[in-house]
Structure 1
Amino acid sequence: MKAADIMTSPVIILHPATPVPAAAALLVAHGFTAAPVVDQERHVLGIATEADLIRGRVLPEGWTSGEGVEPVVATVMTPVPLLMRPEDDVADVVSLMLDSDVRSVPIVDDGVLVGIVSRRDVLRCVARGELTGAEVRARRADIS
């Protein structure tokens, strides 16, 4: 099974200038834990996770009270996230997620965002019996 078979597409995206509260509202509204940050050509610049947005909203001085300059996604995102391709095997994607402790991986084709694989997408495969632990362990052993 390939990443394209399980990825979520179209993808909810963020832009670098998106205010942090707006980005947080978008994640909450769609039930996602992260969203890719892209430029106008949909090249992935980073990923904004729940943790990134929480840190960006409540930690910097002045932002908790609503005073001062509102932070934007570009200042809190995780730059240059791990990326995979639509043709990559799902077991490889899962292995990368586990080894890197990430919850989602953007999927790009020729550098352009086409989807995202999240832990929820993987869990759906597990629930349907389409992905086994043996497959993932074999991929992880190949990488070691």
Structure 2
Amino acid sequence: MYKFLELTAADYMTHAPKTVSRDMKMAELCERFEKEDFNTYPVVDGMQVVGMVSKFDLLSCFVFTPARILPRYEDLMQKATADVMTTEFIYVVPETRLTRVLELMVNHRLRSIPVLEGERLVGIISREDVMRALRDCAGAAEG
């Protein structure tokens, strides 16, 4: 397990993460969530990450409030991703230790974290990636 202490996000991240654009309509975003079974997508403008959008963000559009007793589904499906995305988000750099990634995921209940170099998206690291790293290190310790 000592090997895990040395691993970085770059060692286990997905190098070509799927993204969405800020102008993607909610209807298309819903289809992507269903088809690809991801919980979160980085929202990009070119290669720059401008936000994150999750299933939770999508569902929040449908919350009943005193100002919006009955949201119109058709109207909501025409909203752009930029209208519901989270613009302040946690990210890591490729050199971030997996121990720190794990800590961020647990403390903030994150399923995945974008990996940035400057403002450019270079990958994404998920809970499954961290779990795979832990398994690999445990297997190496046994062998």
Give the TM interval when normalised to the shorter protein. 0.7 to 0.9
Q: Which one has a bigger Cα radius of gyration?
A: 2
**Is the CA contact 2:21–2:44 (under 8 Å) kept in the aligned structure 1?**
yes
1:124 is aligned, of 114, 121, 132, to 132
Higher relative contact order (CA 8 A, sep 6+): 2
CA–CA distance in 2 between the matches of 1:14 and 1:68?
A: 17
Query: Secondary structure in 2 aligned to 1:12?
Result: coil
Query: Secondary structure in 2 aligned to 1:27?
Result: helix
> Sequence identity of aligned pairs in percent?
27
Q: Deviations over 1:22-66 (max 9, x none)?
A: 1122232222110001112x111110011111223x3364432x2
Counterpart check, 1:17 vs 2:26:
no
Residue 106 (structure 1) shift: 0.4
TM value normalised by structure 1: 0.78
Structure 1 alignment gaps of length 5 or more = 132-144
Q: Which residue type is aligned with residue 112 of structure 2?
A: S
Q: Report the counterpart of residue 34 of structure 2 in structure 1.
A: 28
1:37 is aligned, of 43, 59, 62, to 43
Q: Report the counterpart of residue 105 of structure 1 in structure 2.
A: 113
CA–CA distance in 2 between the matches of 1:68 and 1:80?
A: 22
Change over 3 Å in CA distance of 1:130–1:112 after alignment to 2:
farther
**Number of aligned residue pairs:** 128
**Is the CA contact 2:25–2:77 (under 8 Å) kept in the aligned structure 1?**
no
Q: Which residue type is aligned with residue 10 of structure 1?
A: A
2:58 is aligned, of 48, 53, 60, to 53
Q: What's the Cα RMSD here?
A: 2.1
Q: Report the counterpart of residue 3 of structure 1 in structure 2.
A: 9
CA–CA distance in 2 between the matches of 1:91 and 1:106?
A: 16
CA–CA distance in 1 between the matches of 2:80 and 2:111?
A: 22
Q: Equivalences for 1:125-144 in 2 at 5 Å?
A: 125-129=133-137
Counterpart check, 1:74 vs 2:82:
yes
Change over 3 Å in CA distance of 1:10–1:68 after alignment to 2:
closer
**Is the CA contact 2:13–2:125 (under 8 Å) kept in the aligned structure 1?**
yes
CA–CA distance in 2 between the matches of 1:18 and 1:70?
A: 9
Q: Which residue type is aligned with residue 72 of structure 1?
A: A
Q: Which residue type is aligned with residue 23 of structure 1?
A: L
